[in-house]
Amino acid sequence: MAGIEPSQLLCKPRRPFDPAVMDFLAALSERLFADKDARLQPDVASFAYWCRRSNLMRIQREHQTNHNCIGRGIALHIAPSNTPVNFAFTYAFGLLSGNSNVVRVTTKEFAQIAIICRTIDWLLGHDEHDSIRMMTSIIRYEVNDAITAELSRNCHVRVIWGGDSTVKSIKALPSQPRCIDIAFADRYSVAVISADAVNTAIEADLIKLAEGFFMDVFLFDQNACSSPRSIIWIGDEKSVPIARSRFWHYVSRKVESAYRSLPIHMVDKYTQLCLDSVVFHDTVIDSSIEGAVFRLYLRNLERGVDQRAGKFGYFLETSASDLTPLLDFVNERYQTVTSYGLDRTDIVRFVIDNGITGVDRVVPVGHALDLGLTWDGLDIISAMSRVVSDQ
């Protein structure tokens, strides 16, 4: 798809945030923003936005890299099939941490993959990026254990996306004893919204909130690990009903204008609504279907709610006066909390002070899909590099 054959990769790791890598990624950002096809794809734009020079410099500054730090060698990335642009992020993570990279992209056809690979290849054809060409091999093949096993034998890090089943099958393939596996399992995410903040917001802010929520959920059919599946309203019996009706009014309007649900997905959501009504029958308050948005409002969320992940616009909702009820059901499967109208540092403190095993990330609504170098609670640069100690 882009770059050279895996067997030709140069195994000569560099320091994290190597200037040649920074120049290459910044050039990739500019080139993508200038590309008319790329501008039509919000997720490609998000990637271009992430690898703009100012953001890379911020990341470098915030990352307390040990000066005697170096990449591990060759990284094998198994990119997921649910979020097409993820392959570009994981490739960038590999480069930034100083490694050469074999990236296996999904065989599903996505315009986003074609656009980014075309742009990477175009840049790699220029002399100033020749050193990056020797670190780049983006390939595509049908799921094939023999090929993945061969690639696994020759790498120093495996970065495995795609959830529990992919992680299991790749981990079963032998790698070098020193090879490190960074595995991203299936996760569950929620939105926590202040009813008062919604009730006092002006219309322009509500439109923006609905847009952000729409992006978080519908860009990938609610299939991304970080897309919210449940919504926890913080407020009382007066404020929450008003906030819910305001919020869903604007979300429904956005969904109606920008999202089409296939008939089969409507049936899936309807089936899940019926099943969940039975599973949670003790706590159901009401249910609602409005266009493509299916909702079940519960008195409280309970353990196991994360096993009933909604897709294509399906939500469980509940309300509480503060965050305390989260302690009853949040476990290590919980990844992202998208919040609105609440202090994010308070939520982070709540997680740490209460010793919760889950929640790795608290971001504003609209930023659920912003992949970053701290993911699933892991500092990816540190995980993909090593320190040469002199002590």
Q: What are the E-state strand segments in 30-96? A: 69-71, 74-78
Between 58 and 249, whose beta carbon lies closer to other proteins?
58
Residues 6+ apart with CB under 8 A from 216: 191, 226, 227, 228, 338, 365, 366, 367, 368, 369
The CA distance from 149 to 147, in Å, is: 5
Among 4, 11, 31, 33, binds other proteins (CB under 8 A): 33
Residue 161 CB, shortest distance to other proteins, in Å, is 23
Q: Which two three-digit tokens encode residue 111?
A: 């315009």
Interaction with other proteins in 192-211: which residues (CB under 8 A)? 204, 207-208, 211
Among 364, 372, 374, 378, binds other proteins (CB under 8 A): 364
Interface with other proteins, residue 348, by CB under 8 A: no
Neighbours of 323 (CB within 10 A): 18
Residue 214 CB, shortest distance to other proteins, in Å, is 9
The CA distance from 310 to 295, in Å, is: 10
Q: Is residue 155 a contact partner of residue 175, using CB atoms and an 8 Å limit?
A: yes
Residue 52 CB, shortest distance to other proteins, in Å, is 4
Interface with other proteins, residue 241, by CB under 8 A: no
Residue identified by tokens 């009933």 is 308
Nearest by Cα to 292 from 243, 258, 244: 258
Interface with other proteins, residue 54, by CB under 8 A: yes
Interface with other proteins, residue 215, by CB under 8 A: yes
Interface with other proteins, residue 118, by CB under 8 A: no
Among 16, 46, 310, 385, binds other proteins (CB under 8 A): 46
Give the CA radius of gyration of the chain: 22
Interface with other proteins, residue 175, by CB under 8 A: no
Interaction with other proteins in 148-167: which residues (CB under 8 A)? none
- Given the rule CB under 8 A, which of 51-59, 117-125, 179-187, 325-333 is the region that contacts other proteins? 51-59
Interface with other proteins, residue 53, by CB under 8 A: yes
The DSSP output letter for 236 is: -
Residue 143 CB, shortest distance to other proteins, in Å, is 32
Among 11, 45, 149, 320, binds other proteins (CB under 8 A): 45
Residue 311 CB, shortest distance to other proteins, in Å, is 22
The CA distance from 198 to 205, in Å, is: 9
Interface with other proteins, residue 257, by CB under 8 A: no
The DSSP output letter for 342 is: S
Residue 212 CB, shortest distance to other proteins, in Å, is 8
| Cα separation of the two ends of the chain | 43
Greatest Cα pair distance in the chain: 66
The CA distance from 298 to 286, in Å, is: 7
Interface with other proteins, residue 66, by CB under 8 A: no
Helix axes 86-96, 42-50, angle to 10 degrees: 10
- Given the rule CB under 8 A, which of 239-247, 270-278, 361-369, 377-385 is the region that contacts other proteins? 361-369
Residue identified by tokens 């909390």 is 337
Residue 338 CB, shortest distance to other proteins, in Å, is 13
Site residues for other proteins per CB under 8 A: 29-30, 33, 39, 42, 45-46, 48-49, 52-55, 57-58, 204, 207-208, 211, 215, 364, 366-367
